[in-house]
A and B are shown apart, each in its own frame.
Chain A
Amino acid sequence: MTLPSSAIAIRGLCKSYGKAEVLHDIDLEIARGATTCLIGPSGSGKSTLLRCIAFLEEATRGTILINGQPLGFEEQPDGKRVRVPAHQIRRVRSGIGMVFQQFNLWPHMTALGNVTEALVTVNGLSRAEAEARGMAQLRRVGLEARARHYPSELSGGQQQRVAIARALALEPKILLFDEPTASLDPELTGEVLNVMRDLGADGMTMVVVTHEIGFAATVGRRIVFLDHGRVLLNGTPGELFAAPRHPRLTQFLETYLDRGAAMLLKPA
């Protein structure tokens, strides 16, 4: 079986909370082995879209294919949308890792415990084997020496790197990040962005919701600009950020001058 060219294929995705529709008919292909950055004004639906891909939210309409496999819902030939069996949902989901703005480490487990939890509890590995794998992931994010520390004993940047190691432990094909540096002090964002840069260079498929415009412009292979629950722009950084620029994007960038947008806006 040859893999479809896109890691994630989103077709006609709509999401409503009660009567309010917050995502309108999203069609989006996420390229394999590349970093896609999702940017847009607050409330434009970035988190909601990412959470739909992580299956933390169930879309109201439309389908998502992960490497060609339906996530949660499947469109039948007659156009009817049906839920796929639970075990299949879990299998498809296991190929996706998620990193949150608030880290969400489990406070009663060490860094290594957080990373190995799923390996032991879900995959049934022995503790020794899980710890060997867990240490390898912690090494990857530069935190081998902190393995036995509890989250409360780690800085925000270190906690987020542990969270990345935790997401990597199950060896997912796709990593999702929702504003991974937004709750970090400015001097700590660099260490997290560097880890993400390395992952991108290793060929990981990543979807990153971020306000770090500088990061998006330099690491993002594709930029998706969301506005009012729609994909307004989708292209390479060169295409999107170079003049002539879409007026909504310019307006958006002007509010992020301190996050690296200044260099994109300055006249050449």
Chain B
Amino acid sequence: MSVNQEGSQEAIRRRSWRDIDLRAVAPFVALALLLLVGALVNPNFISINNLANVATRSAFIAIIAVGATFVISSGDLDLSVGAMVAFIASLMILFMNSGVIADPVLMLLAAILFAIVAGTLCGLTNGLITTVGRIEPFIATLGTMGIYRGLTTWLSQGGAITLKEPELQEMYRPAYFGTIAGVPVPIVVILAVTAVAAFILYRTRYGRHVVAVGSNRDVARYSGISVNRVRTVAFVIQGLCVAVAVLLYVPRLGSTSATTGILWELQAITAVVVGGTALKGGAGRVWGTICGAFILELVGNIMLLSNFISEYLIGAIQGAIIIIAMLVQRSLVRKS
């Protein structure tokens, strides 16, 4: 601590504005631009009502993507989330239809618990296959994606699975359509899930371990971190998030089919990448992730409201977005 420290105080002040991490800010800038474009395309777009609608519809992807942020930050990937949604939702509806519990309130609570346990187990399966089985996460979750999807098709016998009990349906509806203090429930859930996730990722020991494991597994191992446990828990968190998304999904339509959640893994991963999380692991940005999910939904909404582009192209646009996001990320890394 000698001459070296002199002048650093002043230097720090001078560069504080440059300290802003471009990658963390980029998604929010993109969001602001999109809002501007939308407002120009259609004046109805910027209304509170429309935006709240968009946010509500982004809930499924946003919540799933929050879980994906953990998996990706720890250096893994989960492709099975879309199929997992269909599978858990089908199981949950079948459970409610089975009528094993007579009292509707108890039945609903049991069904919620059931979905959460199912999500945990699905996530745990993915985690154990990749870590204990030492199979590339890409392949492992590609496999479970096929399994979850196939089981759903089998459960529904190729058709739909619909919630039969009207009383249950009535009672469960507000979970998606209701509001809390004027705010739609799904938006409240997004915020709550994200806040908890941000706390875990930035403020707990486990969160630090996730980032360490994602940046360099050797360093993590030499620091006494059990790498496989950290990775497995990330998959379990992903499973839990999928379960929460299912809890919002079931009351919306009261029905699932073999095509439920198709390509949601693409959207979830896109949201994470657009949000600024590095796909090679080592840096997670939870708030960026939900911003990314919101952006995806907004793009769709703008396409609907404008007449320039057919809304049937939405999948193609989303595919393009992930590629553009990766390019932007890389150029920002180079600069810094």
Q: Do A and B bind each other?
A: no
